[in-house]
Structure 1
Amino acid sequence: MNTPQIPSPTSRLAFRLMTADDLDDMAGLLGDPAVMRYYPSPKTRAEALAWIEWNQRLYREHGYGLWVVTLLDTGEFVGDCGLTPQEIEGVVELEVGYHVRTDLQGLGYATEAAAACRDYARDVLGAERLIAIIRPDNRPSQRVAEKIGLPLERMAMSRSGLPVQVHATAF
């Protein structure tokens, strides 16, 4: 069992472990059709709870997962961001992922949070490589990946059979 840790706060954002108390916020985030427009469908409340439980399992098994992101000054919920093991074309790699509330998109929060998670992967976990798996039509997430130093590496097929871009960097 790994002791879960969190990335250090940024100038505007703080990270914390996801708990069942976050269900309302996570159900709102993952159930928002705008946030989930590049996924097969928005998540139900039950699926949002399963998302929280999946991250809690990742914390126990790996010491990391997706963390809740809040505004440093107010504690207001922003979204989630973190690191997860993801299988792409038969290989499990460390992925950075992020979701930001629709009304807070375009303010640089995803880039700021993802950069903190990239640094955490490199400096704390000692990861040798980091990827982001992104749908080809998801330009906002592609820009975040590029801004944090994960250029497009290749096209691939997701486990669900959807075409995706793999953005990657080696440390």
Structure 2
Amino acid sequence: MILETSRLMLREMTMRDTKAIASILQDEQTMYAYEHAFSDQEVKDWITHQIIRYQKDGFGLWAVVLKETGEVIGQCGITMQKIPGKEVPEIGYLLNRNHWHQGFAIEAASACRIYAFKQLEFDEVYSIIRENNIASRNVALNNSMEVRGKFTKHYYDIEMPHLIYSARKKDFIKNA
């Protein structure tokens, strides 16, 4: 276990999580911001990429487990992402649609922000969100992040405007 909140545990993903992660990544409604649902191979590649991140960076997207049932309901964590001019630690989150609108994304993302500041000692953390993804933008705002910029990503030959949100350690931890 990496993190624990009142309702959730965040832990490293394994290939045993393939079915639960596939239920998220293969749902077209959940994946609207990506413009496509993932194939079986893309799901396996996604999990493999997280495992590589754990080994390389010591962090990545983690499985979000509902304490009450032990069910994997999503993924949330910290990954290094490129924005214009630099690479930054990003808090990302993606939950099974059956668990939307219950505060789980905010709960997990907030725990990741604190972890990024205290354990990983980052001075600033980001969330890079497609402009039309209002739900994720609201999570970032509720995670005490502010819009710091905008850029366009090119993904699957589609231009996707993204907003850059961030939270700064100095605003949360005294004497940072």
Does residue 59 of structure 1 match 2:54?
Answer: yes
Alignment partner, residue 161 of structure 2: 163
Name the SS of the counterpart of 2:108 in structure 1.
helix
> Cα offset for 1:40?
2.5
Whole-Å separation in 1 of the counterparts to 2:21 and 2:46: 8
Does residue 70 of structure 1 match 2:65?
Answer: yes
Q: 1:152 aligns with which of 147, 151, 160?
A: 147
Whole-Å separation in 2 of the counterparts to 1:158 and 1:83: 19
Does residue 41 of structure 1 match 2:39?
Answer: no
The alignment of Structure 1 onto Structure 2 pairs a total of residues equal to: 166
Q: Which amino acid aligns with 2:167?
A: T
Query: Is the Cα contact below 8 Å between 2:62 and 2:77 reproduced in 1?
Result: yes
Does residue 127 of structure 1 match 2:116?
Answer: no
Post-superposition CA distance 1:46-102 (Å, at most 9, x none) = 101001000000000011000000111221121000000001124110000001111
Whole-Å separation in 1 of the counterparts to 2:71 and 2:140: 24
Does residue 82 of structure 1 match 2:80?
Answer: no
Query: Is the Cα contact below 8 Å between 1:89 and 1:157 reproduced in 2?
Result: no
Whole-Å separation in 2 of the counterparts to 1:155 and 1:86: 14
Whole-Å separation in 1 of the counterparts to 2:25 and 2:126: 22
Name the SS of the counterpart of 2:81 in structure 1.
strand
Q: Which amino acid aligns with 1:61?
A: K
Q: 2:106 aligns with which of 108, 111, 121?
A: 111
Task: Give the alignment's Cα RMSD to 1 decimal.
Answer: 1.1
Q: Normalising to structure 1: TM-score of the pair?
A: 0.93
What stretches of structure 2 of length at least 5 have no aligned partner? 170-176
Name the SS of the counterpart of 1:95 in structure 2.
strand
Whole-Å separation in 2 of the counterparts to 1:31 and 1:118: 27
Q: Which amino acid aligns with 1:92?
A: E
Which aligned pairs between 1:22-41 and structure 2 lie closer than 5 A? Answer: 22-41=17-36
Which deviates further from its counterpart, 143-152 or 158-167? 158-167
Whole-Å separation in 1 of the counterparts to 2:160 and 2:84: 12
Q: Normalising to structure 2: TM-score of the pair?
A: 0.91
Does residue 17 of structure 1 match 2:15?
Answer: no
Query: Is the Cα contact below 8 Å between 2:129 and 2:137 reproduced in 1?
Result: yes
Name whichever structure is richer in strand by fraction: 2
Q: Which amino acid aligns with 2:163?
A: Q
Whole-Å separation in 2 of the counterparts to 1:58 and 1:139: 28
What stretches of structure 1 of length at least 5 have no aligned partner? none
